[in-house]
Structure 1
Amino acid sequence: MINVVLADDHVLVRDGIKALLEDQGGIIVIDEASNGKEALEVISRNKPDILIVDIRMPEMNGIEVVRQINTSQMDVKTLVLSMHDSEEYVVQAIQAGADGYLLKGASKEEFIKALNKVASGGKYFTGDVSAIIMKNFVNGTTTAVTGKQTPVETPFKLTKREKQILSLVLQLKNNKDIAEELEISKRTAEVHRFNLMKKLDVKNLMELNNKAKEFGLV
């Protein structure tokens, strides 16, 4: 019997995964969590075989949960189940020590295959994710499959100027203020700000602030 803990902030998602898994036989969902901190508490209390964890969650994101599990040497496998296939998320999840990375659009068959592979001590990364891992392996930024990595570049590959802009934007400074502080034109400040928002894939200040905190950009 494979004992599983589900960590996702959406109840409907957890209900769907639980129904799918327990319909298979040999798999039981022993507990659930709606945020990262709760996930760590649940794991400590129940000691499951596998944690299935989403990335974007309140309190603590899934990547940090995986990192803490591995840092604390908890005897639990981790399978990231996410809607995100961006390179930043994938590389950080692997660096944190995830045993598998699967997209929420995966088929039922692939999901069960991934779960069993990870439960048996193997690694499982869906096709698109494997391509990203291989690319980084070739570039020397991560070691594929083994879970042992060398440091990767700053998340989202922000330039020095973009980091300065990010810091000032989060201080609620407008483009005119930013231009004066960095001694650049207002138009240049606007361009940097636009590029920053585009790189981080955010649409407003709140999203920018949340993502900056999530990835330790400030």
Structure 2
Amino acid sequence: MNKQDITILPADDHPMLLKGLSDQLKESGFPVLEGALNGAQALDSIVKDDPTIAILDIEMPLLSGFEVIKKCKEKGVSTRFIILTSHKEKAFVLKAKKLDISGYLLKDEPFSEIEACVLAVANGKSYFSSAFDDIFNKEISPQLEKIKYLSPSERTIVRLIAQEKTSKEISDLLSISHRTVQKHRANIIAKLDLPKNVDSLSVWTSENREIILSL
């Protein structure tokens, strides 16, 4: 797909950033729709104008970038989505993966990276920043692999620990004995290859809370 055939909707709640991005896209030869300053405007424009690509910030008033994407997918729009953000925390990377977003870039990257991403996404490919791939491959994927080895009961207990439930509360919620909960905890620690101390599982669940609660 050629540049002149790729219509783009940029959305960011910072007017200067939005104008700068729009101007750079236009100078590079892309047709650019009027930018949106909040998620609701972005959603309306995507549904009405059906751009090839929407470049969205995550944190915007009224609707977040992720909420816009979710609603657009529910409506069956053909627009493809690129997230342009300052966030590289595990929770955001995981959310982007679950929504099957086409591109994810960080705001401190050069415009040449944005242009490359737009061209790749417009031609049906995915394009993620190296930081995004590093976080997913080094921090998220290994933990997902470990969790695969847990039984359904053990996953339930891990989710409850991630919700900061005590062993007694878990025992009451699941109608099992405190001793059974402790046995499950010991098995989980062994399967996850964690240090054999009282706090290791709580520390691990705290560090990987977003991953656990997304399952």
TM-score with structure 1 setting the length: 0.64
Count of residue pairs the alignment pairs up: 153
Greater mean deviation of Cα atoms: 109-118 or 75-84: 109-118
Pair 1:40-2:74 in alignment: no
2:202 corresponds to:
none
Q: Is the 8 A contact 1:99 1:122 kept in 2?
A: yes
Choose from 5, 12, 15 the match for 2:9: 5
Where 2:141 maps in the other structure, the secondary structure is: helix
Instruction: Assess if the C-alpha contact under 8 Å between 1:101 and 1:126 holds in 2.
Output: yes
Q: Distance in 1 between matches of 2:99 and 2:16?
A: 27
Structure 1 position 51 matched with structure 2 position 82:
no
Gapped regions of structure 2 (runs ≥ 5): 146-157, 167-206, 208-215
CA contact (8 A) 1:66 1:97 kept: no
1:136-151 pair list within 5 angstroms: 136-140=140-144
- Report the counterpart of residue 25 of structure 2 in structure 1: 21
Aligned residue identity for 1:56: E
Q: Is 1:67–1:97's contact at 8 Å kept on the other side of the alignment?
A: no
Aligned to 1:82: 85
CA distance in 1, matches of 2:61, 2:162: 24
Question: What percentage of residue pairs aligned between the two structures are identical?
Answer: 28
The CA deviation at 1:61 is 0.6
The TM-score with structure 2 as length reference comes to 0.64
Task: Establish whether residue 105 from structure 1 lines up as the match of residue 135 from structure 2.
Answer: no
Deviation at 1:32, TM superposition (A): 1.6
1:1-218 equivalence runs, <5 A = 1=4, 2-25=6-29, 27-135=30-138, 136-140=140-144, 158-161=162-165
Matched to 1:20, the amino acid is Q
Shift of 1:160: 2.3
User: Which runs of no fewer than 5 residues in structure 1 stay unpaired?
Assistant: 142-152, 163-198, 200-218
User: Aligned-pair distance for 1:134?
Assistant: 1.9
Runs of 4+ in 1 over 4 A off after TM superposition: none
Per-residue deviation, 1:161: 4.6
Residues 59-104 of structure 1, C-alpha deviations (whole Å, 9 max, x = no match): 1111111122223221000000001111111111221221110000
Aligned AA (1:11):
P
Structure 1 position 9, deviation (Å): 0.7
Higher relative contact order (CA 8 A, sep 6+): 2
For the residues of structure 2 that align with 1:75 and 1:61, how far apart are their CA atoms? 19
Deviation at 1:133, TM superposition (A): 2.1
